[in-house]
Amino acid sequence: GESVGLHLPTLSVQEGDNSIINCAYSNSASDYFIWYKQESGKGPQFIIDIRSNMDKRQGQRVTVLLNKTVKHLSLQIAATQPGDSAVYFCAETGGGFKTIFGAGTRLFVKA
Amino acid sequence: GAVVSQHPSWVICKSGTSVKIECRSLDFQATTMFWYRQFPKQSLMLMATSNEGSKATYEQGVEKDKFLINHASLTLSTLTVTSAHPEDSSFYICSVSVVRERGTDTQYFGPGTRLTVL
């Protein structure tokens, strides 16, 4: 939903394990979704996107799943590495409205 | 995508002074850019939409006379924080809007500018 000033939820995973980061989006009219990665002190970086006519899209070590029925988006990271430690934001857009960013999830990768 | 730069990457200023932050789209002609601020451990807060050749559109609660935005060319938008105060200390991030195909408005972000007002 709308980004608000909330403290970020945290996910802690062991290096080498798979990570799953979830996002509930707010607008049923949204038809384009993006995942961003933000490392400390840097701007958000585009990871992967998906359109609403798809329910899965794969990239390098990352997979995005879209469930329009329950308005849910997830990012799966395979074989998580220390360099994956960051805050991950989902974003929704479409239907002529501005992009809405999720609150973000902080991923900690334990060595 | 689009490559976006910001300058400066960090700035410290005294209370009451004005600070200008530049956002450049290095490889894409951007008619639309966005300015965000981000407080520690929080999400992005949209401040305004910067439109090339026209006035910026500010979000509710953002003072347009305090945060001056100029988007004079397709590759440059500037944000000036006027009469800065300690509560304006934050991480300011710009983004460029890229529409590669209909219905895919993707934002590419700059590296951010850390502003500290003493």
pLDDT in tens, A11-68: 999 999 999 999 999 888 899 999 999 999 999 999 999 999 999 999 999 999 999 9
Residue A98 CB partners (closer than 8 Å, separation 6+)? B46, B49
What is the pLDDT, as a whole number, of residue A29? Answer: 87
Q: Give B-chain residues touching A5 at CB under 8 angstroms.
A: 39, 42-43, 45
Residue B105 to residue A8, Cβ atoms within 8 A:
no
Taking one residue from A and the other from B, the number of pairs with CB-CB distance under 8 angstroms is 64
A57-73 residues labelled b (16+ CB within 10 A) or e (exposed)? eeeeebbbbbeeeebeb
pLDDT in tens, B12-69: 999 999 999 999 999 999 999 999 999 988 889 999 999 988 899 999 999 999 999 9
A11-20 residues labelled b (16+ CB within 10 A) or e (exposed)? bebeeeeebe
Shortest distance, CA B81 to any CA of chain A (angstroms)? 19
Mutate to test the interface with B, among A51, A98, A105, A108 (most CBs of B within 10 A): A98
Q: How far apart are CA B20 and CA B4, in angstroms?
A: 17
Phi-psi region of A71 (alpha: psi -120 to 50; beta: other; left: phi over 0): left
Q: How far apart are CA B68 and CA B114, in angstroms?
A: 17
Chain B touched by A7 (CB under 8 Å): yes
Residue A3 to residue B43, Cβ atoms within 8 A:
yes
